[in-house]
Structure formats: C-alpha cells, structure tokens
Amino acid sequence: MAATETNLVTVTFDGRELQVAPGTPLVVAAAEVGIEIPVFCYEPRLGPPIGACRMCLVEVEIGGRAMPKLQAACTMTTQDGMVVRTAATSAPAKEGQDAVLEFLLLNHPLDCPVCDKGGECPLQDLTFRYGPGTSRMTIPKRTYEKPLPISPSVLIDRERCILCYRCTRFSSDVAEDGELVARERGARSVIATFEERPYVGAFSGNVTELCPVGALLPTPYRFKARPWEIVNVPTVCTGCAVGCNTWVTLREGKAERVISRNHPEVDEGWLCDRGRFARHEPLVERLAEPLIRDSSGLHPATWEEATRSTAQRLRHVSALKGAGAVAIVTGGNLTNEEAYGWAAIARSVGARTASGPVAAAGEWERLDPYAARIDDLDRSDLIVVIGDADVADRAGVVDLRIRKARRAGAHLAIVSAGGTILERDAGSFVAAPAGSAAAIVAALAGAGAAPAGVDLADLGARLAVASHPVLVVTDPIAIALIEQLAHTLRLHERGGVLPMPRGANERGARLAGLSGGGDAVLAGLESGEIRAVVLVGLDPTAEWPEAERWHMALAQADHVVTVSAFVNSAVSWSHIVLPQTVDHEREGTVTNLEGRIQRLRPVTKGPSGRSDLVAIAAIAEVLGVPVAPTPAKVYATLAADLTVPLSWSQLNGRAPLPSRGREARAPKKVAAPKAPPAPAAGRFVLVAPRPLFAGPAVERTAALAHQRAPWVMLNHADADALGVAEHDVISVTHAGGTHTGPLRISRRLVAGAVRINWAGAPATGDATVVRS
C-alpha cells in the first residue's frame, strides 16, 4: 500500500492501536496487529470483497459512536478514529459469529469423514476455533443429488456449499468465462453452469482450491488421500514456460495431485488445468529400461551398455565425419543441469544443437534488454498481443494476468486472425490475415508495410504514448524482428516484451549451451552432413513442423538416440532408447519465460529408477568430459556462467528475479518477412497453433479428455457459404492430417481461414473444409 506518513489513519483493534492507510479492509488491517478475523468469502485475488458469508462480523465504533449493527470486516474499510472489537473482546460480535457459523452449518451435512476437504477445510477449522461447539439442528437438512460432475475434472457437492461465491467470482471476474453461476434463491441457491453444460475452461481447476468447503473437489484426487497422510513437495510446473510454483501431493510413493504454491510474481496462486491435472501415467506405458537395436529390433539393455554405446557412437561419428556430424536436439523441456550436461557432450563431439524448432524464433537472449517480467503486466497501461495463437495456449496463467491488468484499466489490444479466447475481452481488436504476425511486427517497427487491409495506425499511436506498454507475440516469429520493434518502441525504457518460449525451459537450455534450431538440424540430416542425432525429450515427428521431413531424415541417419519418457514415433527410428524422467521425478532448476530460475524437486522416482543427469554424466564420462551427476554441483558450475548469480540454496521457496541490465544496442536490420501465400480457390488458410492441452502427459489424462475435444472454427460468412451451422461436424484436411470436430462460428475469425485445435505435429498452409 503506497501510503505516505501524512495520510495514515489511526484504528484500534481490540485495544491495539494501528496506523494504517485509509480504505484498507478491516480484516487486512487487523492482521497487521496480529489479530485474526476469520473469513470465508474474502479473497483479494477475486476482486473487491462482496461480504457474502458474514463470518467476519465485528463491532465498530467511529468517532465514539457505535455503529448500530455488526459490520463485515472484509467490506468495511479503515477510517480515522475507528475502534474495532472482534469476537475476542466483544460479546455481540461473538454472538454474531456463533450465529453465522450455526447458520452456515444449518444445511451443511456431517460429511467430514467422507469429504476430501476434511482436515484441510476452512469450515472445519473455523468452526472448531470460533464456532459454538454444539448444534441445535434437529430437523432434517436440505439434500441434493451428489456428487455431480460440474466438468469431467471437478465434482460439485451442493449440500456442502456455503454460498460464499468464490467459485462464481473466479469464473466471472478472474478467468472471465462466466460459466459458473448461482441459480435459484435463498436456501435453494445452488452453484451451477448454464443448461448443465460442463464447466470447460483452461483454469477451471482453481475453483477446487478456492472453495472453502468440500463442495468443489478435483475428480482425480477423489478419495486418494487425507491431509495427514500426505507430504506436499514444493516444486515447479514444467507444463509451459511460466513455471507456476506448485506443491505436489505425495502419498505412498505416488504423486496424487498438484496444487498451487502461490508465487505472487509468477502465478498469483493460479494454475491452469494442464499443470494441475496432466499426469505422466500410467506407469506401465513408461519406458522403464534402456533399449538397443540389433538386427532383430530393439532389445532391453543395461544402463551401462546403453550409455557406453551412445557415447561411443557419438565419438565414432564425430571422429570419422568431423565436427557437425552429430546433432543434439531437445524440445526445451530439460532442466538447466541436464541441458548443461548435454551441451558439454555436444562440445566434446563438436555437435550441433537445437532447443527449439526454428533457430530464428528461439534467440530469446536478444530480448533480454527489453524483457518484461510477468508482473510488469500489473503495472502496464497498454498490453499488445500479436499473433494467431492464444496467450493461454503459449503461457497458461499469463492469460489471467493480462485479464487482471485489463480490469485494472490497461488497454488490451489484440492483432490476430481472430477466434482466440482473449480477444473477446480486448479493448481493441485488429483483424489480420492468418500467419501475418511477422509482417505486423515489422510494420509496427517501420520495417515494412502492414498486410493489406490491416490498419495499425490506432495501435501505433497508442504504443507511442503508453507509459508502460507490454508486448506479447504469441506466434513463433523471428526474435530479431521483435527486437527491432522493441528497440523502435524503446521498450528498454518503459514496459517491455514478454518472451513466449515454446518449451518450458527453452531459455535455460539455450543459456546452458543448447542453442540453435531444429530447422538447421533437419537440413543437415537431409543433406547427409549430420550422421548421428540425439533426440532428448522430444519427438520432432509429432511436435515440430515438417513432421514428414523429420520422419524421412531420421530414417536416413546412421545413429538415432532417443531419450524419452514414453514410446513415441521417433523410437521406431532409434538405435538406442534411453528412458527419461518427467517433471515431478526430476531434480534441478528451470528458467521460466522471464528468466527466473526456479527449483524442481523430485517427488517420485521414475520407473527406470535412474535420474537423467546420472545417465548424462555416464555418457560424458566415456567421452572424457567431466559432468557431475548431482544437480547442485552442476548448478554451481552453471551459475558461474549465468547472468543471474544465485546460489543453489537461494533458489528455495519463492525464487527471486534479480533486476537485469537494460542497455539496448541497436539491433541489426532484418528483412521484412514475406506475406504467407494466399490459399488456392476453395481452400482455407489453416490456423492451427498448438493448444495448451497437447502432449504425451495430457493425452494420457482422463480428466483432460474433454479439454482436448477437437473443434473447428469458421467465420460466419464462410459457414453460410458452406451451408454449415454451429455444432455441425466438420472435417478439415491439411498437410498434417485430418481434424474432425463440431463447428464453432466466430465473427472475428478472418474470412477464408479455418481455426482448429490440432494437437498433432504443427501444420500450416491451406486446408479443405467439408461437412462430414
């Protein structure tokens, strides 16, 4: 609270005096003098307090005159000379509090023994600490059918609901999907969705953490454990590059759930459903032992054989064919330490490396002088999102942060082909042809003309005058272009650019030495220059563009080593397969999109029982390069090279993001990008950014099946021309395959484009659209 000495007011809580800024909610002010006022509905992250539960009743006296009734301490704010008496010192407040709890429990079932919230339930805790202790309720309680799935991943038990409206406020004021509502009135009020449709939203799981009772609970955690039987391990989500801080709940050796570990600068306590629910299960589908191919196929081998053979092959190829004949390719999901190990191996065999599909779109360090922090969004007055992909698909909870900034008054401008979720709430929307993000960035930077029909004048004017603009480019375009725009806009002096790496630790991998792009490796493989390739945690035939070419190229390589958690299609081309651990089995550090280094802690052991770093160290040892097999030691080596010199032990808890130097050098000029070719007559431009809900873990998670349900989106005019209506099943055939799903009609999606939530290998180009 930015209060100066002069405008503080004096408030007395239970005889303790406090100087506080006027307008502070009483519950917050009381906490400052160490007095707890119990609350259920008060949650500042959900916006202004609404005073729904009345748990926070206190007696208030202003200027010597008592207010006639008890006041809700969450909605009442501090004024000078206020004297507040909580239930601890005031009999009327105590009586009121008892009555409120008795009232909340009137219809609350005695479910504690069968309720998953039991043991970590605010209603239980506050009733125990403040409640009347006995019940006078003798008549039957209200009953409902229960539990009902409000979505395939969240169950609702309406009997337990105390109508605090936290969930509906989350839905309407934070995620802004407006899907959860309160229906009926009085004691019959229930939390519901419209027409009993499932609550489908990328952030729906957060309501299970917000609910102060066991009314909204996550389906996958149903009856899995009780709070006294678990250990919560602090770690970080590696679902995307945001790096939300999480607790992973461990019971009897199994990771049973993921909940938020609120890092206010990163996630503000929110998680997306991918981070919360995606499971790397079942374990039987995981690769558990190394495989080596002989003439009759892949056969199990020992770790020693597999690592030695890998090292020897790499050394052999590099000795025979010289530097550049080996390539080490990752999708940017390694820890910094693993990346460092692979980079050391790469250096010793003169290997080329790649940490993302396209080199030009991965040079994140170029943006460092202009890089914004995630919480810069809170301070921004203008947020510009350029690109066809949705922010939520690239960086989950950043979407919520942008919405929050918009609610706080920032202007949200979106330039895209339309059909994204965020654009519905944008302050201004500029429709641009599909795939024209690069041209738009170039045009804004004054390095080219805007695509035909796109008027960027208004946006340019806003950008020129904004005091703290934040730029987000969601499509994978050349970083040099973004750099140029950032420099033109002088974003190193105000605001900044929020990088959107594709892999969870793409930035860290590059910093550790695995720079480069898959496009160069692919060309090298095709020309025969690269004879051996190591694919670490990545299946380029499923996750990267040019899947078909990758298939052919891998088939040609002399040696393919795959390091993977699951069997994927690259395994069929591999000569050696090494099992990999997944996020909650790893130890190490990851660097999020802002450059914040955070620690991953191992929660469980992978089925192979061996950490990736140990295997990397074994390969490195054969090659004669020293790589320590423990993350802390590798980190110490790495930290010396990193621009952020934090020690291993400083990475505990909520990792800080030290300030960076922001000296910007004039970027090199980049040629204006070519406009994408127009589709042939009768065909549509394909808009298929990789959705948030994609990848091996998501595919194996039953609770996310509904989030992956395919859909097709067309402009209303195109739909009319095709004679198709909303919900008709449409087939879209493109270079990557065929995608079939119900039609969504958008008025914003540009005409002549078709948007799909295609989770397969990235596809661009054009497509045919037919009713199926």
Binding site for ligand FES (CB under 6 A): 39-42, 51-56, 72, 74
Omega into 147 within 30° of 0, i.e. cis? yes
The reply on whether position 231 binds another protein by CB under 8 A is no
In the complex, what is the shortest distance from the CB of residue 100 to ligand FES, in angstroms, rounded to a whole number? 9
CB nearer to another protein: give 114 or 636: 114
Give the residue with the Cβ less far from another protein, 113 or 661: 113
Please, are residues 254 and 602 in contact by the beta-carbon 8 Å criterion? no
| Closest separation in Å from C-beta 208 to ligand SF4 | 9
Pairing outcome for strands 712-715 and 428-431: unpaired
Q: Write down the least CB distance from residue 667 to another protein, Å.
A: 59
Q: Which is nearer to ligand FES, 55 or 617 (CB)?
A: 55
319 CB-contact burial (10 Å; exposed 0-12 / middle 13-18 / buried 19+): exposed
Here the tokens at position 148 are: 């009902």
Residue 87, token pair as written in the block: 């239930």
Tokens of 768: 């045919």
What string of H, E and C letters represents the secondary structure of 717-746?
HHHHHHCCCCCCEEEEEECCEEEEEEEEEE
List phi, psi (to 5°) of 11.
-130, 145
DSSP string, 695-713: SHHHHT-GGGHHHH---EE
Residue 376, classified by CB atoms within 10 Å of its CB into exposed (0-12), middle (13-18) or buried (19+), is buried
Pairwise CA distance, residues 761 & 8, whole Å = 59
Prior bond to 92 cis, omega within 30?
Answer: no
Q: Which of residues 177-206 bind ligand SF4 (CB under 6 A)?
A: 191
Q: How far apart are CA 278 and CA 251, in angstroms?
A: 17
For residue 239, state whether it binds ligand SF4 (rule: CB under 6 A): yes
Whole-angstrom distance, CA of residue 671 vs CA of residue 238: 35
Residues 13-72 that bind another protein (CB under 8 A): none
With CB under 5 to 8 Å by kind, the binding choice for 537 among ligand SF4, another protein, ligand FES, none is: none
Among 121, 237, 450, 724, binds ligand SF4 (CB under 6 A): 237
Residues of 722-747 as b/e, b for ≥16 C-beta within 10 angstroms?
A: bebeeebebebebebeebebebbbbe
Which stretch, 30-38, 217-225, 267-275, 469-477, contacts ligand SF4 (CB under 6 A)?
267-275
Closer to ligand FES by CB, 126 or 402: give it.
Answer: 126
For 772, half-sphere exposure in the C-beta direction (CA atoms, 13 angstrom radius) is: 15
Q: How far is CA 107 from CA 157, 159, 463, in A?
A: 12, 7, 54
Q: How far is the CB of 155 from ligand FES (least distance, A)?
A: 24
Task: Assess 226 for contact with another protein (CB under 8 A).
Answer: yes
Is residue 228 at the binding interface for another protein, with CB under 8 A as the rule? yes
Q: Which of 177, 713, 167 shows the shortest CA–CA distance to 399?
A: 177
Q: Which is nearer to ligand FES, 39 or 509 (CB)?
A: 39
Confirm or reject binding of residue 693 to ligand SF4 (CB under 6 A): no
Rule CB under 6 A: is residue 496 a binding residue for ligand SF4? Answer: no
* Residue 74 binding ligand SF4, by CB under 6 A: no
Q: Does 222 interact with another protein (rule: CB under 8 A)? A: yes
Residue 313 binding: pick among ligand SF4, another protein, ligand FES, none (C-beta 5-8 Å cut-off by kind): none
Q: Residue 229 touches which of ligand FES, ligand SF4, another protein, none (CB < 5 to 8 A by kind)?
A: another protein
Give the pairing type, strands 297-300 and 352-354.
Answer: unpaired
Nearer to ligand FES by C-beta: 72 or 613?
72
What count of other Cβ atoms lies within 10 Å of the Cβ of residue 700?
A: 17
d(CA 2, CA 452): 47
Using the rule CB under 6 A, is 216 a contact of ligand SF4? yes
Least CB distance to another protein at residue 166 (A): 23
Is residue 223 near another protein by the rule CB under 8 A? yes
By CB under 8 A, which span of 109-117, 258-266, 333-341, 439-447 interacts with another protein?
A: 109-117
Q: Which residues contact 225 (CB under 8 A, 6 or more apart)?
A: 249, 251, 256
101 near ligand SF4, judged by CB under 6 A: no
166 binds, among another protein, ligand SF4, ligand FES, none (CB under 5 to 8 A by kind): ligand SF4
213 binds ligand SF4 (CB under 6 A): yes
Q: How far is the CB of 37 from ligand FES (least distance, A)?
A: 8
Q: In this structure, which amino acid lies at residue 605?
A: K
DSSP state of 424: G
**Parallel, antiparallel or unpaired: strands 496-498 and 469-473:** parallel
38 belongs to the binding site for ligand SF4 (CB under 6 A): no
Stretch (H or E) spanning 84: strand 82-85
743 in contact with ligand SF4 (CB under 6 A): no
Would you count residue 145 as binding another protein (CB under 8 A)?
A: no
Choose among another protein, ligand FES, ligand SF4, none what residue 54 binds, the Cβ cut-off being 5 to 8 Å by kind.
Answer: ligand FES
Residue 643 Cβ, how far from another protein at the closest point, in Å? Answer: 48
Q: Pick between residue 127 and residue 348 the one whose CB is nearest to another protein.
A: 127
When asked if residue 165 is in the footprint of ligand SF4 (CB under 6 A), the reply is yes
Question: Cβ closer to another protein: 108 or 610?
Answer: 108
Strands (E), 25-72: 57-62, 65-66, 71-72
Tally DSSP H helices, then E strands, for the chain: 23, 34
Residue 253 contacts another protein per CB under 8 A: no
Contact in structure between 351 and 436 (CB atoms under 8 Å): no
Alpha-carbon gap, residue 88 to 73, rounded angstroms: 14
In the complex, the smallest distance separating the C-beta of residue 254 from another protein, rounded to whole angstroms, is 11
684-687/753-756 β-pairing:
parallel
Residue number, 55 or 216, with CB nearest to ligand FES = 55
> Based on CB atoms, which residue is closest to another protein, 252 or 663?
252
User: Which 645-684 residues touch ligand SF4, going by CB under 6 A?
Assistant: none
- Which residue stretch of 112-120, 511-519, 597-605, 735-743 sits at the interface with another protein (rule: CB under 8 A)? 112-120
Cα–Cα distance for residue pair 579/290, rounded to 1 Å: 6
Q: Does 252 bind another protein (CB under 8 A)?
A: yes
Cα separations in angstroms, 497 against 362, 634, 706, 731: 14, 30, 33, 37
| Options 67, 114, 319, 636; binder of another protein; rule CB under 8 A | 114
Buried b (16+ CB within 10 A) or exposed e, 424-439: eebeebbbbbbbbbbb
Report the alpha-carbon distance of residue 488 to residue 646 in Å, rounded: 32
- Out of 34, 63, 68, 113, name the contact with another protein by CB under 8 A: 113
Under rule CB under 6 A, residue 210 binds ligand SF4: yes
Q: Which does 396 bind (CB under 5 to 8 A by kind): ligand FES, ligand SF4, another protein, none?
A: ligand SF4
Cis? peptide before 68, omega within 30° of 0 = no
162 part of the interface to ligand SF4, by CB under 6 A: yes
Query: Tokens in use for 221?
Result: 């955690």
Q: Which is nearer to ligand SF4, 148 or 644 (CB)?
A: 148
Tell me whether residue 165 or residue 758 sits nearer to ligand SF4 (CB atom): 165
Q: Taking CB under 8 A as the criterion, which residues in 534-573 touch another protein?
A: none
Q: Which of 275, 341, 501, 508 is in the footprint of ligand SF4 by CB under 6 A?
A: 275
Cβ 75 to ligand SF4 shortest distance, Å = 17
* CA pair distance 301, 305, nearest whole angstrom: 6
The answer to whether 135 contacts another protein (rule: CB under 8 A) is: no
Return the amino acid letter for 335.
T
The residue ranges that bind another protein (CB under 8 A) are: 111-114, 118-119, 147, 222-224, 226, 228-229, 252
The residue ranges that bind ligand SF4 (CB under 6 A) are: 113, 161-167, 191, 210-213, 215-216, 237, 239-240, 242-244, 267, 271-272, 274-275, 396-397
